[in-house]
């Protein structure tokens, strides 16, 4: 038993060193790492963010755990038939969602109000997101002869292994911050109002198309993460006082971009959005 543990530890150290060397030799990876960390650095040194450690724990925790469980797995590149056209369609869906959010928070139209079981005000976020980010993309890409597994919808038990540790840690935080009833209702709301729709559109569809378009997984990952962060600007601005609008941009391009980057990295390692949709849900519901 001791020998097995020692052998596994040596294997992890060897693989870790190889990964660090590969990272150091990859110019794109170095540039992207700096782009991700730069907004954090600016908010920390300016004193606007004095406690980033919880966020860093989530972000780097997800990436380290996924690296550990998939370090011996070959990186898959999903099939993308028309990278330019499909990237444009995916970005168009994101832009459409942002316009919808601007109209919603700008009182351009009034949505009906209704509850569905424990999901309150289902038309505010859940129904529009499921239609725009799940039903519409599936209708489009399935009509283009893609199989669900090529969009990241895979029923592979091994893909759930890396997600178990982050889920356990986030569940502890969530149950500390919420009653069981609140926790259950939050999980249901955020799964259909964030986790599933955002992971399918941003990771399963957009990120895969950008990777194929740019012919560079690192830049495809970063650009998809940047778009993911930017897509939150309408809701961030709606929750921010007019005299502190800069905080909306800080949140979008620090925490939200970085969470998108961590989940995007995990998607590159496993190519399955279903476990990530649950991790995403737990991240939103835990605070």
Mean pLDDT of 83-94: 98
Query: How many domains, the chain?
Result: 1
pLDDT of residue 263: 98
For residue 184, tell me if it sits in a domain. Answer: yes
pLDDT at 85 over 90: yes
Q: How far apart are CA 176 and CA 242, in angstroms?
A: 32
- Chain CA centroid to CA 92, Å: 18
Residue 7 inside a domain? The answer is: no
Asked if residue 140 is part of any domain, the answer here is: yes
Question: 16, 219 in Cβ contact below 8 A?
Answer: no
Provide the domain limits for residue 264: 29-285
Assess if residue 73 is contained within a domain.
yes
pLDDT value of position 114: 81
Q: Could you tell me if residue 13 is inside a domain?
A: no
Residue 161 lies in a domain: yes
**pLDDT higher than 80, residue 2:** no
Predicted confidence (pLDDT) per residue in 184-199, tens digit: 889 999 999 999 999 9
Residue 24 resides in a domain: no
Sign of the CA dihedral 126, 129, 132, 134?
negative
Residue 67 inside a domain? The answer is yes
* For range 130-159, the mean pLDDT: 95
122 band by pLDDT with thresholds 50, 70 and 90: confident
Sign of CA pseudo-dihedral 69, 60, 36, 245: positive
Cα angle: 275, vertex 147, 196; to 5 degrees: 30
Q: What is the pTM of this model?
A: 0.95
């Amino acid at each position: 038993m001791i020998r097995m543990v020692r052998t596994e530890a040596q294997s992890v150290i060897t693989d870790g060193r190889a990964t660090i060397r590969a990272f150091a030799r990859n110019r794109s990876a170095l540039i992207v790492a700096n782009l991700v960390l730069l907004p954090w650095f600016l908010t920390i040194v300016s004193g606007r963010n004095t406690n980033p450690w919880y966020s860093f724990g989530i972000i780097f925790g997800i990436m380290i755990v996924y690296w550990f469980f998939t370090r011996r797995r070959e990186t898959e590149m999903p099939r993308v038939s028309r990278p330019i056209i499909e990237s444009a369609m995916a970005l168009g869906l994101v832009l459409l969602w942002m316009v919808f959010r601007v109209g919603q928070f700008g009182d351009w139209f009034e949505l009906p109000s209704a509850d569905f079981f424990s999901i309150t005000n289902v038309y505010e976020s859940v129904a529009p997101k499921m239609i725009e980010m799940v039903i519409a993309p599936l209708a489009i890409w399935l009509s283009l002869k893609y199989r669900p597994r090529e969009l990241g919808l895979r029923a592979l038990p091994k893909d759930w292994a890396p997600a178990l540790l982050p889920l356990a840690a986030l569940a502890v935080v969530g149950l500390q911050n919420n009653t069981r009833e609140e926790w259950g209702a939050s999980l249901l709301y955020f799964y259909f109002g964030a986790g599933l729709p955002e992971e399918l559109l941003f990771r399963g569809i957009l990120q895969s198309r950008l990777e194929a378009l740019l012919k560079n997984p690192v830049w495809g990952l970063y650009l998809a993460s940047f778009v993911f962060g930017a897509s939150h600007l309408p809701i961030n601005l709606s929750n921010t006082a007019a005299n502190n609008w800069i905080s909306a941009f800080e949140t979008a391009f620090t925490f939200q971009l970085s969470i998108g980057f961590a989940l995007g990295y995990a998607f590159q390692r496993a190519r399955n959005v279903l476990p990530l949709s649950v991790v995403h849900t737990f991240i939103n519901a835990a605070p």
